[in-house]
Amino acid sequence: MAESRTSAQGGMETSYGFRDVAEGEKQTLVNDVFHKVAKRYDIMNDVMSAGLHRVWKDAMVAALHPRKEASYKVLDVAGGTGDIAFRIVEASDRKAHATVLDINGSMLGVGAERAAKKGLNDNLTFVEANAEELPFESNSFDAYTIAFGIRNVPRIDVALSEAYRVLKRGGRLLVLEFSEVDMPLLDRIYDQWSFKAIPRFGKMITGEAEPYQYLVESIRKFPNQRDFAAMIGKAGFSRVTFTNYTGGIAALHSGWKI
Ligand SMILES: C[S@@+](CC[C@H](N)C(=O)[O-])C[C@H]1O[C@@H](n2cnc3c(N)ncnc32)[C@H](O)[C@@H]1O
């Protein structure tokens, strides 16, 4: 299970890929990764997942089944370049409103440009902030989504508590994240792909291998499906379930604030 540890100096430590770092340092390193890759982030997602991230994101939004009402409000945390928010707005026939929150201005900048090109500005708000300290009143949103974001947050338990706080009663949490592969042959192929191919493609396309080394390592350090479901329950959510995608390469966790 993901947890923070106390370091020899008495501060709290967490994982940055396979390394242990101070909690404060992790966020700085993560921010550096996404500043470096922001402009090439979308193309790298297609290369790294062989296009599968689109299928998983579509499945997440289908599971959310957004209401086709202007009063329906979604908060997409670690929303980056907007993939989830765009899909939610489209699935609501451009009625719902999505707030895209991310700690990284470079990622949001790319997202805002894409939103303008798609003509989605009226349905979207971009907010630069930390998932651990949401700048919203309690009980404000009908849904909270986070895709491939939570493993980058230093204090996952704090982010989940914040998710619970800002959701309305009856609101839904959906977390899409890389997870533990549970198919014997697939796990070996996936290991080769992750540790050999992805950092090389990253270097070819973005000129940097290190951010992609972090990304694959951080996937392995993230809690498995059951442990993460337990963390969601601990944050107060009810009816916590998960669905594996592509043999567990990714998983969608769901919880409700009742
Ligand atoms: C892998 S990207 C996911 C982007 C998008 N959700 C998607 O699925 O394409 C991870 C995002 O998490 C953001 N992030 C990392 N730490 C964060 C934090 N503490 N609060 C908010 N966003 C954070 C990064 O800036 C980055 O944009």
What is each CA distance from 80 to 14, 235, 240, in whole angstroms? 22, 24, 25
Dist. CA 70–CA 92, nearest whole Å: 9
Sign for the CA dihedral angle at 59, 61, 65, 68 comes to negative
**Domain boundaries along the sequence of the chain:** 12-256
What's residue 10's pLDDT?
A: 52
**Ligand 1 geometric centre to CA of 81 (Å):** 9
Instruction: Give the amino acid at 21.
Output: V
Q: What is the pLDDT of residue 34?
A: 92
Q: What is the pLDDT of residue 140?
A: 98
Q: What are the tens digits of pLDDT across the range 213-224?
A: 888 889 988 999
* Dist CA 147 CA 78 (whole Å): 7
Neighbours of 25 (CB within 10 A): 16
Pocket of ligand 1 (CB under 6 A): 27, 30, 34, 77-80, 83-84, 102-104, 107, 130-132, 147-149, 152-153
Cα separation of 171 and 88, whole Å? 15
Distance (Å) from CA 41 to ligand 1 centroid: 11
| Residues in the chain where the model's pLDDT stays below 70 | 1-11
Inter-residue contact 167 to 255 (CB < 8 Å): no
CA distance 149 to 25: 17
Specify burial of residue 7 (Cβ count, 10 A radius: 0-12, 13-18, 19+).
Answer: middle
Q: What is the pTM of this model?
A: 0.93
**Ligand 1 mean position to 130 CA, how many Å?**
10
Determine the Cα–Cα distance for residues 88 and 161; give it in Å rounded to an integer: 23
- Nearest-CA residue for ligand 1 atom 14 is 78
Give distance in angstroms: CA of 184 to centre of ligand 1: 30
Mutate to test the pocket of ligand 1, among 37, 56, 102, 133 (most ligand atoms within 8 A of CB): 102
CATH of 12-256, one of 3.40.50.720, 3.40.50.150, 3.30.70.360, 3.30.1360.70: 3.40.50.150
3-class secondary-structure state, position 221 = helix
